Amino acid sequence: MPHVVTQSCCSDASCVYACPVNCIHPTPDEPDFLTAEMLHIDPQACVDCGACVSACPVDAIVPESKLTDPQRVFLSINADFYKEERPRPLLAKVIPAAHVDKGRPPLRVAIVGSGPSAMYAADELLTQPDVQVNVFDRLPVPYGLVRAGVAPDHQKTKQVTRLFDKIAAQKGFEFYLNVEIGKHISHSELLENHHAVLYAVGASSDRGLGIPGADLPGTASATDFVAWYNGHPDHADDVFDLSHRRAVIIGNGNVALDVARILTADPEKLAGTDISAHALAALRKSRVEEVVIVGRRGIAQSAFTVPEFTGLMALPDIELSVGPDDMVLDSATEELAKRGELPHAVEQKLRLLEALKNRDHVDVGNKRITLRYLLTPTSITGDDQVSGIEFARNALVDANGTVQIEATGDTETIDAGLVLTSIGYRGVPITGVPFDERASVIPNENGRVLEAPNGDPATGVYATGWIKRGPSGFIGTNKSCAQETIRMLVDDFNDGRLTNPVADDSAVDRLVRARQSDVVDREGWHAIDKAELERGAAHDRVREKVLDQVEITSILDAAARVKPARRFGRPVRAR
CATH of the domain at 480: 3.40.50.720
488-503 pLDDT, tens digit per residue, is 999 999 999 999 999 9
Instruction: Work out the end-to-end distance of the chain between its first and last CA atoms, rounded to an integer number of angstroms.
Output: 52
Last residue of a domain, one of 470, 492, 516: 516
Say which CATH number the domain at 69 has.
3.30.70.20
Last residue of a domain, one of 363, 396, 424: 424
Count of domains in the chain?
4
Collapse the DSSP code of 269 into the 3-class scheme (helix H, G, I; strand E, B; otherwise coil) and give the result. Answer: helix
Collapse the DSSP code of 481 into the 3-class scheme (helix H, G, I; strand E, B; otherwise coil) and give the result. Answer: helix
Q: Strand 388-399 relative to strand 402-415: parallel, antiparallel, unpaired? A: antiparallel
pLDDT of residue 563: 63
Q: Are 84 and 446 in contact (CB under 8 A)?
A: no
Does residue 238 fall inside a structural domain? yes
> Which residues are bridge partners to 413 per DSSP?
390
Cα separation, 91 vs 24, whole angstroms: 10
Regarding whether 374 and 290 lie in a shared domain, the answer is yes
Cα separation, 47 vs 2, whole angstroms: 7
Regarding whether 232 and 351 lie in a shared domain, the answer is yes
pLDDT of residue 258: 97
Neighbours of 424 (CB within 10 A): 18
Q: Are 325 and 296 in contact (CB under 8 A)?
A: no
Residues 515-548 as b or e (16 or more Cβ within 10 Å = b)? ebebbbbbbbbbbbbebbeeebeeeebbbbbbbe
Regarding whether 491 and 354 lie in a shared domain, the answer is no
pLDDT of residue 88: 82
Which conformational region is residue 291 in: left (phi greater than 0), alpha (psi within -120 to 50 degrees), or beta? beta
pLDDT of residue 362: 64
Does residue 92 fall inside a structural domain? no
Regarding whether 463 and 391 lie in a shared domain, the answer is no
pLDDT of residue 92: 84
Does residue 94 fall inside a structural domain? no
Nearest to 57 by CA among 13, 95, 20: 13
pTM: 0.94
Cα separation, 251 vs 248, whole angstroms: 10
pLDDT of residue 85: 85
What residues contact 531, with CB distance under 8 A and at least 6 apart? 546, 555
Distances (CA, A) of 354 to 55, 302, 358, 507, 568: 35, 13, 6, 62, 62
Cα separation, 363 vs 347, whole angstroms: 29
Collapse the DSSP code of 375 into the 3-class scheme (helix H, G, I; strand E, B; otherwise coil) and give the result. Answer: strand
Q: Are 233 and 264 in contact (CB under 8 A)?
A: no
What residues contact 363, with CB distance under 8 A and at least 6 apart? 319
Computed on alpha carbons and rounded to an integer, the radius of gyration of the chain in Å comes to 24
Regarding whether 505 and 392 lie in a shared domain, the answer is no
Regarding whether 372 and 268 lie in a shared domain, the answer is yes
Cα separation, 24 vs 46, whole angstroms: 8
Number of H helices, E strands in the chain: 20, 24
Cα separation, 468 vs 463, whole angstroms: 5
Q: Are 301 and 375 in contact (CB under 8 A)?
A: no
Last residue of a domain, one of 377, 407, 424: 424
pLDDT of residue 441: 96
Say which CATH number the domain at 418 has.
3.50.50.60
Low-confidence ranges of the chain (pLDDT < 50): 565, 567-575
Diameter of the chain measured on Cα atoms: 73
Residue 197 half-sphere exposure toward CB, CA atoms < 13 A: 25
DSSP H helical ranges for 424-521: 466-469, 477-494, 505-515
pLDDT of residue 568: 47
pLDDT of residue 574: 41
Regarding whether 395 and 535 lie in a shared domain, the answer is no
Does residue 98 fall inside a structural domain? no
Does residue 96 fall inside a structural domain? no
Cα-Cα-Cα-Cα dihedral sign, residues 66, 27, 11, 119: positive
What residues contact 383, with CB distance under 8 A and at least 6 apart? none
Q: Strand 290-294 relative to strand 246-250: parallel, antiparallel, unpaired? A: parallel
What residues contact 357, with CB distance under 8 A and at least 6 apart? 322, 324, 327
Q: Are 194 and 109 in contact (CB under 8 A)?
A: yes
Nearest to 387 by CA among 412, 419, 410: 419
Regarding whether 317 and 216 lie in a shared domain, the answer is yes
Does residue 166 fall inside a structural domain? yes
Does residue 419 fall inside a structural domain? yes
Regarding whether 341 and 239 lie in a shared domain, the answer is yes
Neighbours of 206 (CB within 10 A): 19
Q: Strand 108-112 relative to strand 196-199: parallel, antiparallel, unpaired? A: parallel
Regarding whether 66 and 136 lie in a shared domain, the answer is no
What residues contact 118, with CB distance under 8 A and at least 6 apart? 111, 112, 135, 137, 144, 198, 200, 464, 465
Regarding whether 187 and 222 lie in a shared domain, the answer is no
Domain residues for the domain of 539 are 520-575
Regarding whether 494 and 550 lie in a shared domain, the answer is no
Does residue 95 fall inside a structural domain? no
